[in-house]
């Protein structure tokens, strides 16, 4: 009441009203009004490790490893880079693989075809064709590109490790399957018994490695048919 009396007295003495301060609206940020920026949320989500386990995580790690090998080679491949590409933590890699050599070997092992999967097709020719085609297809795959990058740059010590892997995982099992194919063929009568030898079984993997390593990976769609029909079949029957 006293404040009202004083205000009225001030108006009578000055002849004008006392201006009241203008109350300005409180400014609200765009983010507060419309919510968090969806682009920023997406970017932050992509930077966070994805919680995957088991086979899903393993597949992501192997895919990232082969991609890194193919694009940058073995020397530039790092455990940190693989973890980042697979969107996981580096600790997840080191819990299973002590080095990138072990990781690369397991990544290749997971994708290379297994010779033991060759079915009994009732014909030595058809079975050999199936086997050679499956490995020829690998040359132009991501695994083949990774293998080519490895062979091009490894030093002697590292090359020995991968040479042992190739011998135990690919070459020796392939030779064993070819010998089984030749034995079955001999029992059916479409392979001469004298052709069931380790030397004949060496031909297919040896020719494939020659084309890949010496001839720069030139393995065309006709390679499997030519190898089987022009080399293997004459040896098996004559």
Confidence at residue 117, expressed as pLDDT on a 0 to 100 scale = 84
Q: Flag whether 68 is in a domain.
A: yes
User: Which of 50-59, 137-146, 168-177, 204-213 shows the lowest mean pLDDT across its residues?
Assistant: 50-59
Pull the structure tokens for residue 5. 């009396």
- pLDDT of 195 > 50? The answer is yes
How much is the average pLDDT of 23-35? 51
Q: Flag whether 148 is in a domain.
A: yes
Q: Flag whether 22 is in a domain.
A: no
> What gap in Å lies between CA 36 and CA 24, rounded to an integer?
25
- pLDDT of 199 > 60? The answer is yes
Q: Is the pTM of this model over 0.75?
A: no
Confidence at residue 103, expressed as pLDDT on a 0 to 100 scale = 95
Q: Flag whether 213 is in a domain.
A: yes
Q: Flag whether 180 is in a domain.
A: yes
Domain range spanning residue 83? 49-110
Residue that terminates a domain, selected from 83, 110, 137: 110
More confident residue, 41 or 108: 108
How much is the average pLDDT of 195-216? 88
Q: Flag whether 32 is in a domain.
A: no
Q: What is the mean pLDDT of the chain?
A: 81
| 3-class secondary-structure state, position 35 | coil
pLDDT, one tens digit per residue, over 97-151 is 999 999 999 999 998 888 888 899 999 999 999 999 998 888 888 888 888 788 7
CATH number of the domain enclosing 143: 1.10.357.10
- Confidence bin at 219 (pLDDT 50/70/90): confident
**How many structural domains compose the chain?**
2
Same domain flag for 104 and 123: no
At which residue do the structure tokens 């297994």 appear? 114
Same domain flag for 88 and 175: no
Confidence at residue 140, expressed as pLDDT on a 0 to 100 scale = 81
Confidence at residue 59, expressed as pLDDT on a 0 to 100 scale = 94
Confidence at residue 95, expressed as pLDDT on a 0 to 100 scale = 93
Q: Which residue blocks in the chain are alpha helix, DSSP H?
A: 2-14, 30-34, 38-47, 54-76, 79-85, 90-94, 100-111, 124-139, 142-153, 156-166, 172-188, 198-209, 223-227, 233-237
Same domain flag for 119 and 89: no
> Which residues contact residue 17 at a Cβ distance below 8 angstroms, ignoring those fewer than 6 apart?
11
Confidence at residue 145, expressed as pLDDT on a 0 to 100 scale = 82
Confidence at residue 11, expressed as pLDDT on a 0 to 100 scale = 45
Q: Flag whether 18 is in a domain.
A: no
pLDDT, one tens digit per residue, over 43-58 is 554 555 555 567 899 9
């Amino acid at each position: 009441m006293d404040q009202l009396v004083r205000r009225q007295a001030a108006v009578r003495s000055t002849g004008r009203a006392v201006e009241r301060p203008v109350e300005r609206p409180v400014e609200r940020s765009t983010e507060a009004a419309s919510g968090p920026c969806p682009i920023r949320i997406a970017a932050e989500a992509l930077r966070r490790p994805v919680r995957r386990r088991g086979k899903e995580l393993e597949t992501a790690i192997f895919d990232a490893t082969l991609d890194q090998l193919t694009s940058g080679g073995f020397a530039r491949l790092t455990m940190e880079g693989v973890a980042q590409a697979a969107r996981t933590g580096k600790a997840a890699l080191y819990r299973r693989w002590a080095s990138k050599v072990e990781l690369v070997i397991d990544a290749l092992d997971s994708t290379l075809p297994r010779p033991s999967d060759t079915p009994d097709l009732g014909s030595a020719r058809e079975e050999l064709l199936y086997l050679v085609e499956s490995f020829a297809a690998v040359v132009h795959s991501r695994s083949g590109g990774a293998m080519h990058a490895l062979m091009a740059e490894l030093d002697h010590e590292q090359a020995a490790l991968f040479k042992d892997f190739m011998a135990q995982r690919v070459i020796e099992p392939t030779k064993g399957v070819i010998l089984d194919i030749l034995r079955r063929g001999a029992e059916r009568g479409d392979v001469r018994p004298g052709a069931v030898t380790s030397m004949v079984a060496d031909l297919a993997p040896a020719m494939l490695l020659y084309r890949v390593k010496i001839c720069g990976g030139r393995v065309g769609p006709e390679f499997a048919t030519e190898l089987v029909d022009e080399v293997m079949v004459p040896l098996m029957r004559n």
